[in-house]
A and B are shown apart, each in its own frame.
Chain A
Amino acid sequence: DAKTTQPPSMDCAEGRAANLPCNHSTISGNEYVYWYRQIHSQGPQYIIHGLKNNETNEMASLIITEDRKSSTLILPHATLRDTAVYYCIVRAVNAGNNRKLIWGLGTSLAVNP
Protein backbone atom coordinates (compact mmCIF):
# COMPACT_ATOMS: atom_id res chain seq x y z
CA ASP A 1 0.00 0.00 0.00
CA ALA A 2 1.18 3.52 -0.84
CA LYS A 3 2.69 5.61 1.90
CA THR A 4 1.08 8.92 2.81
CA THR A 5 2.61 12.16 4.06
CA GLN A 6 0.63 14.68 6.09
CA PRO A 7 1.70 17.81 7.96
CA PRO A 8 1.86 17.07 11.68
CA SER A 9 -0.31 20.02 12.69
CA MET A 10 -2.51 22.78 11.31
CA ASP A 11 -4.62 25.61 12.66
CA CYS A 12 -7.90 26.95 11.36
CA ALA A 13 -10.24 29.72 12.46
CA GLU A 14 -13.74 28.73 13.43
CA GLY A 15 -16.16 29.22 10.55
CA ARG A 16 -13.45 29.11 7.92
CA ALA A 17 -12.68 26.22 5.60
CA ALA A 18 -10.08 23.76 6.79
CA ASN A 19 -8.02 22.27 3.97
CA LEU A 20 -6.02 19.23 5.03
CA PRO A 21 -3.45 18.03 2.50
CA CYS A 22 -2.16 14.52 1.96
CA ASN A 23 0.63 13.42 -0.33
CA HIS A 24 0.52 9.91 -1.77
CA SER A 25 2.89 10.16 -4.70
CA THR A 26 3.38 6.37 -5.02
CA ILE A 27 -0.31 5.55 -5.20
CA SER A 28 -1.31 2.75 -7.54
CA GLY A 29 -4.28 2.57 -9.82
CA ASN A 30 -6.32 0.27 -7.56
CA GLU A 31 -5.71 2.20 -4.35
CA TYR A 32 -8.40 4.29 -2.74
CA VAL A 33 -7.86 7.26 -0.44
CA TYR A 34 -9.67 7.06 2.91
CA TRP A 35 -9.94 9.78 5.53
CA TYR A 36 -10.67 9.29 9.21
CA ARG A 37 -10.47 11.55 12.19
CA GLN A 38 -10.00 10.95 15.89
CA ILE A 39 -11.24 13.35 18.48
CA HIS A 40 -9.27 13.21 21.69
CA SER A 41 -9.92 10.05 23.73
CA GLN A 42 -12.49 8.73 21.27
CA GLY A 43 -12.41 6.03 18.61
CA PRO A 44 -11.59 7.01 15.03
CA GLN A 45 -14.45 8.22 12.87
CA TYR A 46 -14.76 7.44 9.16
CA ILE A 47 -15.15 10.58 7.05
CA ILE A 48 -14.95 9.84 3.33
CA HIS A 49 -13.13 7.89 0.64
CA GLY A 50 -12.45 8.25 -3.07
CA LEU A 51 -10.61 6.78 -6.03
CA LYS A 52 -10.15 9.54 -8.59
CA ASN A 53 -13.29 11.65 -8.69
CA ASN A 54 -13.97 14.33 -6.13
CA GLU A 55 -16.35 13.20 -3.44
CA THR A 56 -18.62 15.07 -1.05
CA ASN A 57 -20.77 13.99 1.85
CA GLU A 58 -22.38 15.65 4.83
CA MET A 59 -19.08 15.83 6.67
CA ALA A 60 -16.52 16.90 4.10
CA SER A 61 -15.29 17.08 0.54
CA LEU A 62 -12.39 15.10 -0.88
CA ILE A 63 -10.44 16.59 -3.77
CA ILE A 64 -8.04 14.22 -5.53
CA THR A 65 -5.60 15.64 -8.06
CA GLU A 66 -5.80 14.39 -11.63
CA ASP A 67 -2.53 12.46 -11.27
CA ARG A 68 -3.80 11.08 -7.92
CA LYS A 69 -0.51 11.88 -6.22
CA SER A 70 -2.16 14.08 -3.62
CA SER A 71 -5.52 14.88 -2.11
CA THR A 72 -7.15 17.48 0.12
CA LEU A 73 -9.86 16.99 2.69
CA ILE A 74 -12.01 20.07 3.01
CA LEU A 75 -14.15 20.89 6.02
CA PRO A 76 -16.13 23.80 4.58
CA HIS A 77 -17.06 25.58 7.81
CA ALA A 78 -14.86 24.31 10.61
CA THR A 79 -16.24 24.30 14.15
CA LEU A 80 -14.53 23.75 17.47
CA ARG A 81 -15.85 20.17 17.40
CA ASP A 82 -13.74 19.52 14.32
CA THR A 83 -10.57 19.76 16.43
CA ALA A 84 -9.09 16.28 15.99
CA VAL A 85 -6.31 14.24 14.42
CA TYR A 86 -7.07 13.58 10.75
CA TYR A 87 -5.70 10.48 9.07
CA CYS A 88 -5.23 9.98 5.34
CA ILE A 89 -4.90 6.30 4.41
CA VAL A 90 -4.32 4.72 1.03
CA ARG A 91 -5.50 1.17 0.57
CA ALA A 92 -5.73 -1.25 -2.30
CA VAL A 93 -9.11 -2.88 -2.23
CA ASN A 94 -8.06 -6.08 -3.93
CA ALA A 95 -5.12 -7.13 -1.82
CA GLY A 96 -6.13 -10.63 -0.84
CA ASN A 97 -7.07 -11.41 2.73
CA ASN A 98 -4.78 -8.80 4.27
CA ARG A 99 -7.21 -6.42 5.91
CA LYS A 100 -4.59 -4.11 7.35
CA LEU A 101 -5.01 -0.35 7.14
CA ILE A 102 -1.72 1.51 7.59
CA TRP A 103 -2.41 4.36 9.98
CA GLY A 104 0.23 7.06 10.16
CA LEU A 105 0.33 9.80 12.77
CA GLY A 106 -2.05 12.10 10.89
CA THR A 107 -2.52 15.86 11.07
CA SER A 108 -3.57 17.42 14.36
CA LEU A 109 -6.08 20.12 13.42
CA ALA A 110 -6.80 22.83 15.95
CA VAL A 111 -9.88 24.96 15.25
CA ASN A 112 -9.56 28.23 17.10
CA PRO A 113 -12.41 30.53 18.18
Chain B
Amino acid sequence: DAGITQSPRHKVTETGTPVTLRCHQTENHRYMYWYRQDPGHGLRLIHYSYGVKDTDKGEVSDGYSVSRSKTEDFLLTLESATSSQTSVYFCAISDPSKVVDLYEQYFGPGTRLTVT
Protein backbone atom coordinates (compact mmCIF):
# COMPACT_ATOMS: atom_id res chain seq x y z
CA ASP B 1 0.00 0.00 0.00
CA ALA B 2 1.13 3.51 -0.77
CA GLY B 3 2.44 5.36 2.27
CA ILE B 4 -0.39 7.82 2.77
CA THR B 5 -1.75 8.83 6.14
CA GLN B 6 -4.53 11.25 7.01
CA SER B 7 -5.11 12.99 10.28
CA PRO B 8 -7.32 13.17 12.12
CA ARG B 9 -9.29 10.10 11.09
CA HIS B 10 -12.45 11.34 12.74
CA LYS B 11 -13.45 14.82 13.81
CA VAL B 12 -16.58 16.47 15.12
CA THR B 13 -16.64 20.24 15.08
CA GLU B 14 -19.12 23.06 15.39
CA THR B 15 -20.39 25.32 12.66
CA GLY B 16 -18.18 28.34 12.17
CA THR B 17 -14.98 26.85 13.54
CA PRO B 18 -11.83 26.44 11.43
CA VAL B 19 -10.71 22.91 10.64
CA THR B 20 -7.49 21.64 9.08
CA LEU B 21 -7.06 18.16 7.72
CA ARG B 22 -3.62 16.79 6.99
CA CYS B 23 -2.43 14.38 4.35
CA HIS B 24 1.07 12.99 4.67
CA GLN B 25 2.86 10.81 2.10
CA THR B 26 6.16 8.99 2.18
CA GLU B 27 6.24 8.23 -1.55
CA ASN B 28 7.72 11.53 -2.76
CA HIS B 29 4.87 11.77 -5.31
CA ARG B 30 4.53 15.07 -7.07
CA TYR B 31 0.73 15.27 -7.29
CA MET B 32 -1.60 15.32 -4.31
CA TYR B 33 -5.39 15.62 -4.29
CA TRP B 34 -8.23 16.24 -1.86
CA TYR B 35 -11.64 14.67 -2.54
CA ARG B 36 -14.88 14.54 -0.64
CA GLN B 37 -17.37 11.67 -0.75
CA ASP B 38 -21.03 12.04 0.09
CA PRO B 39 -23.94 9.59 -0.12
CA GLY B 40 -25.52 9.62 -3.55
CA HIS B 41 -22.50 11.33 -5.09
CA GLY B 42 -19.31 10.02 -6.50
CA LEU B 43 -16.02 11.35 -5.22
CA ARG B 44 -15.59 15.01 -6.06
CA LEU B 45 -12.28 16.81 -6.40
CA ILE B 46 -11.81 19.77 -4.06
CA HIS B 47 -8.26 20.94 -4.76
CA TYR B 48 -5.07 19.41 -6.03
CA SER B 49 -1.36 20.19 -5.98
CA TYR B 50 1.22 19.56 -8.68
CA GLY B 51 4.24 20.55 -6.61
CA VAL B 52 5.38 22.46 -3.56
CA LYS B 53 3.40 25.70 -3.38
CA ASP B 54 1.61 24.81 -6.65
CA THR B 55 -2.10 24.20 -6.19
CA ASP B 56 -5.28 24.52 -8.22
CA LYS B 57 -9.01 24.28 -7.72
CA GLY B 58 -11.14 21.25 -8.38
CA GLU B 59 -14.89 21.11 -8.96
CA VAL B 60 -16.08 21.85 -5.40
CA SER B 61 -13.46 24.25 -4.02
CA ASP B 62 -15.74 26.91 -2.48
CA GLY B 63 -15.22 27.10 1.28
CA TYR B 64 -11.91 25.23 1.17
CA SER B 65 -8.29 26.27 0.94
CA VAL B 66 -5.13 24.20 0.68
CA SER B 67 -1.44 24.56 1.25
CA ARG B 68 1.60 22.52 0.36
CA SER B 69 4.84 23.76 1.87
CA LYS B 70 6.60 20.39 1.68
CA THR B 71 6.40 17.58 -0.84
CA GLU B 72 5.08 15.18 1.76
CA ASP B 73 2.29 17.27 3.28
CA PHE B 74 -0.92 18.62 1.78
CA LEU B 75 -3.26 20.49 4.11
CA LEU B 76 -6.97 21.11 3.57
CA THR B 77 -8.52 23.95 5.57
CA LEU B 78 -12.15 24.75 6.13
CA GLU B 79 -11.94 28.37 7.21
CA SER B 80 -15.42 28.37 8.77
CA ALA B 81 -16.99 24.94 8.76
CA THR B 82 -20.62 24.53 7.69
CA SER B 83 -22.96 21.57 8.02
CA SER B 84 -22.79 21.07 4.24
CA GLN B 85 -19.11 20.21 4.67
CA THR B 86 -19.95 17.14 6.72
CA SER B 87 -18.39 14.43 4.59
CA VAL B 88 -15.66 11.85 4.26
CA TYR B 89 -12.48 13.42 2.92
CA PHE B 90 -9.91 11.45 0.99
CA CYS B 91 -6.42 12.41 0.04
CA ALA B 92 -4.78 10.86 -3.02
CA ILE B 93 -1.38 10.95 -4.66
CA SER B 94 0.02 10.24 -8.10
CA ASP B 95 3.42 10.43 -9.70
CA PRO B 96 2.92 10.50 -13.42
CA SER B 97 5.80 9.87 -15.74
CA LYS B 98 3.21 10.16 -18.50
CA VAL B 99 0.02 12.24 -18.55
CA VAL B 100 -2.08 9.08 -18.59
CA ASP B 101 -0.60 8.16 -15.20
CA LEU B 102 -2.11 11.26 -13.59
CA TYR B 103 -5.24 9.24 -13.05
CA GLU B 104 -3.49 6.25 -11.51
CA GLN B 105 -4.06 7.62 -8.04
CA TYR B 106 -3.46 6.09 -4.62
CA PHE B 107 -5.77 7.02 -1.79
CA GLY B 108 -5.43 7.50 1.92
CA PRO B 109 -7.79 5.95 4.49
CA GLY B 110 -10.05 8.99 4.74
CA THR B 111 -11.16 11.46 7.40
CA ARG B 112 -14.74 11.46 8.57
CA LEU B 113 -15.73 15.04 9.42
CA THR B 114 -18.99 15.95 11.11
CA VAL B 115 -19.98 19.60 11.44
CA THR B 116 -22.77 20.15 13.97
Contact = CB atoms under 8 A, between A and B. Distances in A.
B42 A49 contact: no
Contacts of B108: 43
A104 B37 CA distance: 11
Contacts of B4: 43
Interface stretch (A17-25, A59-67, A76-84, A92-100): A92-100
Interface string B78-116: 000000000000101000000110111111111000000
B102 A99 contact: yes
A102 B90 contact: no
Interface residues of B, number: 25
Contact of A93 (B42, B102, B107): B102
A93 B96 CA distance: 11
Interface string A73-113: 00000000000000101010110010111111110000000
B33 interface: yes
Contact of B103 (A43, A51, A101): A101
Contacts of B56: 97, 99
B42 A102 contact: yes
B57 to A, nearest CB: 10
Contact of A87 (B42, B48, B109): B42
A100 B100 contact: no
Q: Is the interface of B mostly helix, strand, loop or mixed?
A: mixed
Contacts, number: 58
Nearest to B60: A100
B109 A42 contact: yes
B110 A89 contact: no
Contact of B42 (A41, A43, A46, A103): A103
Name the residue in A43, A91, A101, A106 with the highest tally of chain B Cβ atoms < 10 Å from its Cβ: A43
A15 interface: no
Interface of B: 4, 31, 33, 40, 42-45, 48, 56, 58-59, 90, 92, 99-100, 102-110
6 contacts: A32-B100, A49-B103, A101-B45, A101-B103, A103-B42, A104-B42
Given A42-B110, A49-B103, 4 more contacts: A49-B100, A93-B99, A99-B48, A103-B43
